[in-house]
């Protein structure tokens, strides 16, 4: 083993899980697992869907790399269990994770802090009637975006361009969540900005501009095709990238995120105003994923990114105790 590699002890890479993103989580987790092992880390795969989290303590794991996506992994539940077990983990803590997984709660926090995010209407699964739909279109106009409030990887997301498409879009989104988020559509450049660190020490990585076929950056185009273009450097007008990075850092900090994350942004094609869409607190680490791509552009390869994230594994309890010390 390389003497320069920190001794992280026995490390569990949490992957799989119970969410709709289980397949993607295995892709991320196996990439992380191989990278950590290549650096001499005693890393092991652990699927919380197959094994009770209490086994982590019994098997002597010293820290966890969370490569779970979506619910029961990215939503504060696993983070809370690890806090109780006293096992440090990568990424954001309980509160930030639980807020960030909920796109509506995230938007409410951002709006309270004066950060720009598209206008929205929240509907409930049991209230998708015609009157609500009429008011929805009057409020947001067309086209508009319909998506589950607590889902990732573009699962259940629909662009509605005419009123006749709205009922089916709402019904499909409601299959994934009781809360259906309907959002103003912003036409323009789609970019994403990864962040590493915590608080004032958090750093924004280079922006990536995403050009998907017909502007449709869906589940398939995210993970399983090579048709989507990713531009880094993003090629934005001078000063625009730095301004967006500053907004992204504020958006990340006000939610209390730590470790790492990725904030998705739409830039209005006419006004060039950026609109914050959501923050991912456990981003993908697949061969098509954006955080490794941006980190590489900043000079950090995949293996070193994984090591950097693992080195930052912590418990919120320890951080708060340290703050009072």
Q: Any catalytic annotation for residue 223?
A: yes
- From residue 188, give the alpha-carbon distance in Å to each of 153, 211, 269: 20, 10, 4
Q: Catalytic residue, from 150, 282, 284, 316: name it.
A: 284
For the chain, the helix, strand and coil percentages under 3-state DSSP, each to the nearest 5 = 40, 20, 40
Q: Catalytic residue, from 102, 241, 264, 316: name it.
A: 264
Tokens, residue 51: 């094994």
Q: Catalytic residue, from 71, 76, 262, 302: name it.
A: 262
Q: Any catalytic annotation for residue 264?
A: yes
Q: Catalytic residue, from 28, 280, 289, 294: name it.
A: 280
CA-wise closest residue to 275 among 254, 248, 242: 248
Q: Any catalytic annotation for residue 50?
A: no
Q: Any catalytic annotation for residue 18?
A: no
Q: Catalytic residue, from 223, 252, 275, 302: name it.
A: 223
Q: Catalytic residue, from 21, 75, 102, 241: name it.
A: 21
The bridge status of strand 10-14 relative to strand 42-46 is parallel
Q: Catalytic residue, from 153, 289, 294, 314: name it.
A: 153
Q: Any catalytic annotation for residue 268?
A: no
CA distance 276 to 250: 11
Phi and psi angles of residue 294, each rounded to the nearest 5 degrees, phi first: -70, -40
H/E stretch holding 179 reads strand 179-184
Task: Convert 87-111 to b/e letters by CB count within 10 Å (16 or more is b).
Answer: bbbbbbbbebbbbbbbbbbbbebbe
Q: Any catalytic annotation for residue 217?
A: no
Q: Catalytic residue, from 47, 74, 278, 316: name it.
A: 278
Q: Any catalytic annotation for residue 284?
A: yes
Angle (deg, nearest 10), helices 240-254 and 103-112: 110
Tokens, residue 47: 């699927």
Q: Any catalytic annotation for residue 312?
A: no
Give the residue numbers marked as catalytic. 21, 153, 223, 262, 264, 278, 280, 284
């Amino acid at each position: 083993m390389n003497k320069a590699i920190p001794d992280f002890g026995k490390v569990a890479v949490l992957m799989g899980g119970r969410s709709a993103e289980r397949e993607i989580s295995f892709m991320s987790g196996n990439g992380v697992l191989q990278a950590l092992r290549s650096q001499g880390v005693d890393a092991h795969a652990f699927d919380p869907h197959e094994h009770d989290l209490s086994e982590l303590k019994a098997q002597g794991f010293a820290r966890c790399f969370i490569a779970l996506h979506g619910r029961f992994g990215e939503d504060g539940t696993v983070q809370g269990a690890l806090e109780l077990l006293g096992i440090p983990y990568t990424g954001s803590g309980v509160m930030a994770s639980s807020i960030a997984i909920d796109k509506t709660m995230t938007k409410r926090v951002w709006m309270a802090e004066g950060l720009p995010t598209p206008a929205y209407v929240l509907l409930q699964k049991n209230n998708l009637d015609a009157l609500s739909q009429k008011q929805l279109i009057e409020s947001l106009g067309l086209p508009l975006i319909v998506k589950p409030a607590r889902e990732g990887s573009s699962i259940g997301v629909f662009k509605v361009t005419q009123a006749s498409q709205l009922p089916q879009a709402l019904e499909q989104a409601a299959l994934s969540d009781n809360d259906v988020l309907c959002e103003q559509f912003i036409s323009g450049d789609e970019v994403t900005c990864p962040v590493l660190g915590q608080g004032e020490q958090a750093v924004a990585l280079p922006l990536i501009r995403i050009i998907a076929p017909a502007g449709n950056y869906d589940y398939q185009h995210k993970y399983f095709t090579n048709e989507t273009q990713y531009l880094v450097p993003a090629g934005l007008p001078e000063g625009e990238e730095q301004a967006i990075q500053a907004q992204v850092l504020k958006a990340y900090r006000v939610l209390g995120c730590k470790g790492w994350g990725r904030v998705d942004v739409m830039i209005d094609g006419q006004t060039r105003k950026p609109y914050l869409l959501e923050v991912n607190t456990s981003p993908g680490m697949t061969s098509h994923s954006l955080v490794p791509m941006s980190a590489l552009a900043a000079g950090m390869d995949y293996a070193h990114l994984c090591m950097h994230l693992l080195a930052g594994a912590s418990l919120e309890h320890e951080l708060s105790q340290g703050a009072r010390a």
